[in-house]
């Protein structure tokens, strides 16, 4: 007998981040800040070791009429000006497709809404084997299976593995739903080239001759791409999708605005025809009404205010941290390469991930903690959150990590 539904997995959640972060905090309290490297946190921290909260974002909220924060949103799909601003900000003129937007609680809301409404229980979702852990959990909560593609072949996107995973899902169902987390993939820091995106779209068009195809592109970290506006140009390749393909872009204010706790984001639905977009939108809108009802009105107003009235200030403030992230990653990657500390191909973003088998990873993760270096275990790797480490902490870290690795490998 059970109080919860029979079909759900009742094992407790395996939390790979917070438990290790708690150990790091404890060590800091005992040994002092200098003795500890806490590379677990996936949020942006400044050189002062504090969470970054962009001034322009939080000044906008503080200057807002209380009633704007108190009010419900204008509709279940979000405020019209928010939807328009999200579309313009994200696509930046790189799309001519039919489109609609649904405001969601963070990128999480957009990703989960797509998985749970585009696949039936028992069907299969295609995800990368090295990925943000929530994809698996979201699938599991909906009794959806996953098939995984290897993200890399040498230092580039593994198109063959991607194709194989899609084909295996298509063998048992009439629909194909795939996730690509790009640019600034979590946890590798890889971004596909425009040519790689082109090949993906060509292949999905082939698949769409026999199957309906939903491409879920998770862009949670896009505004911290080192390419900035250019990082959005790959979205032009979506213009070539066939009528039987829909693209859902999962956008998040969490990283873009450093407003993780405000829980605001959007699902941008793109299709060749208005009819395709509306079919998805109708179901997403009902899902929104049935789960979160409507989205944080203050957060939506803040986004519109920042982009419409304080864009230059926002760009300047964000760029300061984009450049800082670049500086940190360049130091870590350069030093890692010098000492032969193997990592997945990193281009940009919040994390660098060291590559190794899972047995070595487990021993290494423990050995690192003994030396008070706290990291996150991922499939076949160790994630180093350079987003939360100061330049000073990063200097010499790769060498130290290599020396520890040599004691376990």
Distance from the first to the final alpha carbon of the chain: 46
Does position 116 interact with ligand PLP (CB under 6 A)? The reply is no
Cβ 111 to ligand PLP shortest distance, Å: 6
365-372 long-range Cβ contacts below 8 angstroms, 24+ apart: 367/404, 367/405, 367/407, 367/408, 368/401, 368/404, 369/20, 369/23, 371/400, 371/404, 372/24, 372/27, 372/31, 372/35, 372/36, 372/37
| DSSP string covering 91-119 | HTT---SEEEEEEESHHHHHHHHHHHHHS
Does position 181 interact with ligand PLP (CB under 6 A)? The reply is yes
The site that binds ligand PLP (CB under 6 A) totals a number of residues, namely: 13
Q: Please answer whether residues 139 and 162 qualify as being in contact, where contact means their C-beta atoms are separated by less than 8 angstroms.
A: no
Which of 95, 186, 208, 355 forms a contact with ligand PLP (CB under 6 A)? Answer: 186
- CA neighbor of 295 nearest in space, from 265, 316, 323, 320: 265
CA atoms within 13 A on the CB side of 248: 32
Does position 85 interact with ligand PLP (CB under 6 A)? The reply is no
By beta carbon distance, the residue nearest ligand PLP is: 106
Cβ 186 to ligand PLP shortest distance, Å: 4
Does position 78 interact with ligand PLP (CB under 6 A)? The reply is no
Would you say 191 or 208 has its CB closer to ligand PLP?
191
The number of beta carbons lying within 10 Å of the beta carbon of residue 122 is: 11
Would you say 130 or 401 has its CB closer to ligand PLP?
130
Would you say 27 or 321 has its CB closer to ligand PLP?
321
For residue 214, the SS3 value is strand
Would you say 21 or 207 has its CB closer to ligand PLP?
21
Q: Which regions of 142-273 does DSSP assign to beta strands (E)?
A: 145-149, 152-153, 156-157, 175-181, 212-218, 245-252, 265-271
Which of 38, 79, 85, 108 forms a contact with ligand PLP (CB under 6 A)? Answer: 108
Window 138 to 167, contacts with ligand PLP (CB under 6 A): none
Q: 55-65 burial by CB neighbour count: b if 16+ within 10 A, else e? A: ebbeebbeeee
Site stretch for ligand PLP (CB under 6 A), options 61-69, 106-114, 120-128, 163-171? 106-114
Q: Is the peptide bond before 122 cis (omega within 30 degrees of 0)?
A: no
Would you say 128 or 271 has its CB closer to ligand PLP?
128
Would you say 208 or 224 has its CB closer to ligand PLP?
224
Does position 265 interact with ligand PLP (CB under 6 A)? The reply is yes
Would you say 189 or 244 has its CB closer to ligand PLP?
189
Two tokens, residue 339: 């000492």
- CA neighbor of 79 nearest in space, from 310, 306, 314, 303: 303
* Residue found by looking up tokens 């939807």 in the block: 83
Site stretch for ligand PLP (CB under 6 A), options 105-113, 189-197, 208-216, 233-241? 105-113
* Residue 45 DSSP one-character state: B
Q: Mark residues 298-337: x for contact with ligand PLP by CB under 6 A, - for none.
A: ----------------------------------------
Does position 224 interact with ligand PLP (CB under 6 A)? The reply is no
Cβ 387 to ligand PLP shortest distance, Å: 11
Does position 252 interact with ligand PLP (CB under 6 A)? The reply is yes
Site stretch for ligand PLP (CB under 6 A), options 86-94, 100-108, 238-246, 273-281? 100-108
- d(C-alpha 165, C-alpha 216), whole Å: 15
Q: How many residues does the chain have?
A: 409
Does position 218 interact with ligand PLP (CB under 6 A)? The reply is yes
Would you say 218 or 335 has its CB closer to ligand PLP?
218
Would you say 223 or 305 has its CB closer to ligand PLP?
223
Would you say 214 or 276 has its CB closer to ligand PLP?
214
Residues that bind ligand PLP (CB under 6 A): 42, 106-108, 132, 181, 186, 218, 220, 252, 254, 260, 265
């Amino acid at each position: 007998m059970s109080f919860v539904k029979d079909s759900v997995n009742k094992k407790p959640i395996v939390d790979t981040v917070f438990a290790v972060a708690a150990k790091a905090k404890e060590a800091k309290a005992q040994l002092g800040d200098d003795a500890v490297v806490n590379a677990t946190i996936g949020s942006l921290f400044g050189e002062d070791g504090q969470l970054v909260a962009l001034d322009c974002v939080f000044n906008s909220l503080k200057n807002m009429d209380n009633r704007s924060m108190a009010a419900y949103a204008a509709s279940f799909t979000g405020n019209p000006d928010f939807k328009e601003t999200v579309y313009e900000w994200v696509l930046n003129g790189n799309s001519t497709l039919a489109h609609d937007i649904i405001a969601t609680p963070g990128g999480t809301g957009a990703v989960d809404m797509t998985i749970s409404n585009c696949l039936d229980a028992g069907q299969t979702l295609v995800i990368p084997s090295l990925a943000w852990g929530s994809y698996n959990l979201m699938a599991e909560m909906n009794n959806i299976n996953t098939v995984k593609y290897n993200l890399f072949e040498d230092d580039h996107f593994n198109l063959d593995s991607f194709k194989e995973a899609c084909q295996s899902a298509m063998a048992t169902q009439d629909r194909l739903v795939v996730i690509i987390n790009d640019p600034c993939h979590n946890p590798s820091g890889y971004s596909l080239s425009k040519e790689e995106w082109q090949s993906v779209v060509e292949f999905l068009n082939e698949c769409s001759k026999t199957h309906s195809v939903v491409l879920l592109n998770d862009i949670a970290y896009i505004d911290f791409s080192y390419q900035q506006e250019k990082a959005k140009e790959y979205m032009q390749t979506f213009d070539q999708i066939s009528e039987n393909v829909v693209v859902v872009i999962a956008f998040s204010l969490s990283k873009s605005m450093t407003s993780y706790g405000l829980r605001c984001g959007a699902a941008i639905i793109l299709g060749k025809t208005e009819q395709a977009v509306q079919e998805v939108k109708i179901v997403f809108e009902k899902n929104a009404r049935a789960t979160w009802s409507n989205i944080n009105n203050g957060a939506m107003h803040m986004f519109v205010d920042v982009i419409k009235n304080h864009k230059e200030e926002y760009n300047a403030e964000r760029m300061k941290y984009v450049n800082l992230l670049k500086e940190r990653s360049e130091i870590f990657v350069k030093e890692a390469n010098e000492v032969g500390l193997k990592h997945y191909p990193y281009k940009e973003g919040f994390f660098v991930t060291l590559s190794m088998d899972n047995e070595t990873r487990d021993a290494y993760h423990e050995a690192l903690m003994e030396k008070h270096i706290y990291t996150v275990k991922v499939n076949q790797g160790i994630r180093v959150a350079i987003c939360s480490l100061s330049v000073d902490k990063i200097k010499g870290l790769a060498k130290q990590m290599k020396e520890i690795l040599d004691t376990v490998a």
